């Protein structure tokens, strides 16, 4: 290993940068060029992935006889030291070295001398950054998957606690039919489950290895791309070297998945905001997820939910931004693609925070079930039950039953009555065959209990759905443990 005190040009990073790529150039870049060209401010997040990829590449080169075992050992030791330095905050990042790849390479040459200069054999920064970015995105997916598991559990716990709690179901934000709060929350569980499955699908497609594609055409060295793929946990090497260095559809798909997931979180957040208003009165937020007003001492604002609702704009903006970067690029690599990482990094940071915040709000969930039940009976929410009874008990065609029900609802509305309070005699003026048995279906409790079709809101249905969901979640966790 080279002496760490050996004279070097570390104090002149611009000279180091030129020594790596600038043999053709007689002069250095302008200050503006240096600033616009540098990506170290954001791509330093890739240092773990860059070091992992470099280790795998070095081991492969040694196995193929392209690199000596001694050089490989020195490179791995040097890379371990660099990782420790970065994690300890000891590495000084300089825009003159452009990116994390050149920072690590420059430091490696300081530590191990010529061995470090041999590491870049049979690879380019093009396949290097493509590999790092895929590794980072794969790790982000795995971290988000764990957070999604926590959100699913929080939804199931809340749904189970309130499986029989009645609330109004809405269409057009107008009271439609009574449902249970547990059923309502399980709707979001289904959405979140699909979101998590989309992440898994995205992971499968991105898990191919670009390393060894070099700049764009492959390499003349006898490398083994299957070895580096296995070493880095990829399913296989990418089949086309041009595609390998230029493809960013994995990032676009990832951002699309996050955008859909953010929309679902935003919908639930919006309901929390509505339910917490005094007009609804369905929910009281604790101090943990609300704030006050600088001027109105009575206020309790659902800021956490509002910010989850807002961040969907940032996440979808990231997707659209990367689409615009990629839309007109010819094959293979263009410097435009340096702008692929900031939107992905930002979207992941935002989405992680949204998942954690939503999980926390659900774990801190304290609905006013009495207020919800009272609201469930407003707006003639059991009118459909009345129509269904007319079909079932009297044999009326549904359209005729719908007309009869509408006339009874109009009477109730004109006389400021709820449906269960409409006198039987008034109902019989609309349809003479109606009997007092009609009152057995007009309460919100009866309405909810009757919805026993698969996927319906009956409390027993909800509890059965929760049981199945818990079993599926447990099975998925066991499968993940076995695969890891």
Q: Give the Cα separation of 407 and 214 in Å (integer).
A: 76
* SS3 track for 439-474: HHCCCHHHHHHHCCCCCCCCHHHHHHHHHHHHHHHH
Q: What is the DSSP string of 304-317?
A: HHHHHHHHHHHHHH
Instruction: Write the CA distances from 394 to 178, 380, 386, 444, 450, integer angstroms.
Output: 24, 21, 11, 22, 18
Question: Whole-angstrom distance between the N-terminal and C-terminal Cα of the chain?
Answer: 36
Q: Which tokens sit at 352?
A: 């992680």
Q: Which tokens sit at 98?
A: 């452009």
Q: What does the DSSP 8-state code read for residue 323?
A: H
User: Residue 250: how many CA atoms within 13 Å on its side-chain side?
Assistant: 27
- The H or E element containing residue 379 is none
Q: Which tokens sit at 77?
A: 């030791």
Say if CB 93 and CB 103 are below 8 A apart.
yes
Q: What is the DSSP string of 67-81?
A: S-HHHHHHHHHHHHH
Prior bond to 332 cis, omega within 30?
yes
Q: Which residues, in sequence order, are CB contacts of 113 under 8 Å at separation 6+?
A: 1, 2, 6
- The H or E element containing residue 15 is helix 13-21
Say if CB 156 and CB 189 are below 8 A apart.
yes
Q: Give the Cα separation of 329 and 213 in Å (integer).
A: 19
Q: Which tokens sit at 27?
A: 């002069």
> Would you name the residues annotated as active-site residues?
172, 293
Q: Which residues, in sequence order, are CB contacts of 10 under 8 Å at separation 6+?
A: 16, 106, 110
Q: What is the DSSP string of 241-300?
A: HHHHHH--HHHHHHHHHHHHHHHHHHHHHHHHHHHTSTTT--B---GGG-B--SS-TT--
* Cα-Cα-Cα-Cα dihedral sign, residues 187, 188, 192, 193: negative
Q: Give the Cα separation of 88 and 314 in Å (integer).
A: 32
């Amino acid at each position: 290993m080279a002496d760490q005190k050996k004279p070097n040009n570390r104090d002149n990073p611009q000279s180091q940068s030129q020594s790596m790529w600038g043999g053709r150039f007689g002069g250095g870049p302008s200050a503006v060029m240096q600033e616009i060209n540098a990506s170290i401010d954001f791509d330093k997040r890739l240092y773990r992935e860059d070091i992992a990829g470099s280790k795998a590449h070095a081991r492969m080169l040694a196995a193929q006889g392209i690199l000596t075992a001694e050089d490989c050992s020195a490179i791995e030791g040097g890379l371990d030291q660099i990782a420790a330095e970065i994690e300890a905050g000891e590495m000084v990042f300089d825009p003159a070295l452009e990116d994390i790849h050149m920072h690590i390479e420059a430091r490696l040459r300081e530590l191990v001398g010529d061995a470090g200069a041999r590491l870049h054999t049979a690879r380019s920064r093009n396949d290097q950054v493509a590999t790092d970015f895929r590794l980072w995105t794969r790790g982000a997916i795995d971290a988000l998957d764990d957070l999604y598991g926590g959100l699913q559990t929080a939804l199931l716990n809340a749904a189970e606690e309130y499986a029989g709690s009645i609330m109004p179901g809405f269409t057009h934000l107008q009271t439609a039919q009574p449902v249970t709060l547990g059923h309502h929350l399980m709707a979001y569980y289904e959405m979140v489950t699909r979101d998590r499955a989309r992440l898994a699908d995205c992971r499968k497609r991105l898990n191919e290895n670009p390393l060894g594609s070099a700049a764009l055409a492959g390499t003349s060295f006898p490398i083994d791309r299957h070895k580096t793929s296995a070493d880095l946990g990829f399913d296989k090497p990418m089949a086309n070297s041009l595609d390998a260095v230029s493809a960013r559809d994995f990032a676009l798909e990832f951002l699309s998945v996050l955008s859909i997931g953010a929309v679902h979180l935003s919908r639930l957040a919006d309901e929390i905001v509505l339910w917490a208003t005094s007009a609804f009165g369905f929910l009281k937020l604790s101090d943990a997820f609300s704030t006050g007003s600088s001027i109105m001492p009575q206020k309790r604002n659902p800021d956490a939910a509002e910010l989850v609702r807002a961040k969907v704009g940032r996440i979808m903006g990231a997707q659209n931004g990367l689409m615009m970067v990629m839309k007109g690029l010819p094959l293979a690599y263009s410097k435009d693609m340096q702008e692929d990482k900031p939107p992905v990094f930002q979207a992941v940071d935002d989405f992680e925070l949204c998942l954690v915040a939503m999980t926390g709000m659900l774990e801190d969930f304290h609905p006013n079930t009495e207020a919800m039940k009272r609201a469930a009976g407003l707006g003639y929410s059991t009118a459909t039950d009345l129509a269904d009874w007319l079909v079932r008990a009297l044999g009326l065609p549904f359209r005729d039953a719908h007309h009869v029900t509408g006339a009874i609802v109009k009477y109730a509305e004109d006389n400021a009555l709820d449906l269960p309070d409409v006198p039987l005699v008034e109902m019989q003026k609309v349809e003479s065959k109606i009997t007092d048995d009609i009152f057995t279906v007009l309460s919100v409790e009866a309405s909810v209990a009757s919805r026993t079709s698969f996927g319906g809101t009956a409390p027993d249905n909800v509890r059965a759905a929760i049981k199945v969901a818990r079993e599926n979640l447990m099975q998925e966790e066991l499968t993940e443990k076995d695969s890891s």
